């Protein structure tokens, strides 16, 4: 030990002897010639346990103030429908307390098949379907019979607009149509829950008190994104309509996108590796997930 530690050890030994002199309850580590490291550890442990928790029943939280809902520990198992506790911050990374996430929305079993079905449904529904080809009645050209039916030795034809001629029609080609197909609302809702659960399990779900920015300057969002390690694309989700300052601050950033809570979807979550949501957005998403499905 250094000279400073030796002086502290001697002072604590003297204080310990003076404090317990004549009482018969001097700790054994003060009486025997123990190493200085053990002596210091025993003194600190004695005073910490005696001063902070003199009575096992003292200082306990009243039972009526404790929540009866289950809260997960960091080393948890995914898909147990248990509530999650997540810290709440802001764009300056200041501590704003904690928020409880509903377990039936943010802790459901992960199913890749459901995610695959929902993504296929989204991509098929947004496909334009404007491709078109011309049939034999739409292609330009004469309707005259190219040559007489018999006697030429050539194949018989009634028009030069057929698919076998250059510049002719296309048989069984695509026509404008909708590529959308039906997917049950329960499956679509489950897909969104699974996507939110995956981001929460990866630690890529951040909760902000609000998405208010002081001005429309892009540097407000750039400074926030630069302080986040391992995040390449951010998806900011607000509860209501997007504020004008936030819209202007993010419109020039290709790696930051903004959505209202009503527009949150599985495909957008998968395209971004980090999901940043406001408290209002989480409340609205949970309310939407708990709303009964109308038939």
CATH code for the domain in which residue 239 is found: 3.40.1370.10
- Examine the domain organization and report whether 219 and 164 are in the same domain: no
Least confident span in 44-48, 93-97, 105-109, 276-280 = 44-48
Assess contact for 252 and 286: CB atoms under 8 A.
no
Assess contact for 208 and 90: CB atoms under 8 A.
yes
Helix, strand, coil shares of the chain as percentages rounded to 5? 40, 10, 50
- Examine the domain organization and report whether 114 and 198 are in the same domain: yes
Residue 219 lies in a domain: yes
User: What is the CA 135 to chain-centroid distance, rounded?
Assistant: 49
Give whole-number Cα distances, 34 to 27, 38, 63, in Å: 12, 7, 43
**Residues 102, 120: Cα–Cα separation, whole Å:** 27
- Examine the domain organization and report whether 174 and 190 are in the same domain: no
Residue 265 lies in a domain: yes
- Examine the domain organization and report whether 209 and 114 are in the same domain: yes
Instruction: Enumerate the β-bridge partners of residue 207.
Output: 88, 277
HSE toward the beta carbon, residue 228, CA cutoff 13 A? 24
Other C-beta atoms within 10 Å of 9: how many?
Answer: 17
What pTM did the predictor assign?
Answer: 0.70
- Examine the domain organization and report whether 88 and 221 are in the same domain: yes
HSE toward the beta carbon, residue 283, CA cutoff 13 A? 9
Whole-number pLDDT of residue 48:
39
DSSP 263: G
Instruction: Please state, for a pLDDT cut of 70, what percent of the chain lies above it.
Output: 74
Whole-number pLDDT of residue 51:
38
- Examine the domain organization and report whether 276 and 132 are in the same domain: no
Residue 249 lies in a domain: yes
Residue 201 lies in a domain: yes
Residue 146 lies in a domain: no
Residue 250 lies in a domain: yes
- Examine the domain organization and report whether 161 and 258 are in the same domain: no
Instruction: Tokens for 241, please give them.
Output: 């309509």
Residue 152 pLDDT > 60? yes
- Examine the domain organization and report whether 165 and 190 are in the same domain: no
State pLDDT tens for residues 129-151.
Answer: 999 999 999 999 998 999 999 99
Whole-number pLDDT of residue 247:
94
Whole-number pLDDT of residue 295:
64
Residue 209 lies in a domain: yes
- Examine the domain organization and report whether 109 and 214 are in the same domain: yes
Instruction: Tokens for 187, please give them.
Output: 């499956």
- Examine the domain organization and report whether 106 and 230 are in the same domain: yes
The predicted model gives 60-68 an average pLDDT of: 62
Residue 111 lies in a domain: yes
- Examine the domain organization and report whether 286 and 211 are in the same domain: yes
Could you give the number of structural domains in the chain? 2
- Which of residues 67 and 48 earns the better pLDDT score? 67
| Residue 267 structural domain | 84-126+180-290
- Examine the domain organization and report whether 171 and 205 are in the same domain: no
Angle at Cα 263 formed by Cα 69 and Cα 180, nearest 5°?
A: 115
């Amino acid at each position: 030990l250094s000279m400073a530690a030796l002086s502290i050890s001697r002072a604590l030994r003297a204080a310990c002897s003076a404090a317990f002199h004549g009482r018969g309850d001097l700790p054994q580590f003060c009486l025997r010639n123990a190493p200085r490291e053990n002596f210091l550890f025993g003194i600190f442990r004695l005073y910490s346990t005696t001063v902070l928790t003199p009575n096992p029943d003292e200082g306990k939280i009243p039972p009526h103030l404790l929540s009866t809902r289950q809260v997960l520990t960091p080393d948890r198992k995914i898909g147990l429908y248990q509530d999650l506790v997540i810290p709440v911050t802001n764009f300056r990374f200041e501590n704003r307390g904690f928020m409880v996430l509903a377990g039936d929305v943010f802790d459901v079993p992960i199913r890749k098949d459901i995610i695959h079905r929902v993504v296929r449904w989204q991509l098929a529904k947004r496909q334009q379907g404007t491709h078109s080809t011309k049939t034999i009645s739409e292609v330009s050209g004469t309707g005259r019979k190219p040559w007489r039916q018999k006697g030429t030795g050539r194949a018989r034809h009634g028009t030069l607009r057929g698919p076998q001629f250059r510049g002719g029609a296309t048989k069984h080609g695509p026509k404008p149509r909708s590529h959308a197909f039906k997917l049950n609302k329960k499956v679509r809702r489950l897909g969104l829950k699974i996507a939110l659960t995956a981001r929460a399990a990866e630690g890529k779900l951040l909760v902000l008190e609000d998405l208010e920015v002081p001005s429309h300057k892009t540097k407000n969002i750039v400074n926030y994104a630069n302080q986040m390690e391992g995040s390449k694309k951010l998806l900011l989700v607000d509860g209501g309509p997007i504020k004008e300052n936030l819209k202007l601050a993010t419109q020039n950033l290709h790696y930051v996108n903004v959505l209202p809570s009503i527009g949150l979807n599985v495909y957008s979550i998968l395209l971004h590796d980090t999901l940043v949501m406001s408290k209002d957005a989480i409340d609205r998403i949970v309310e939407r997930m708990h709303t009964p499905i109308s038939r």
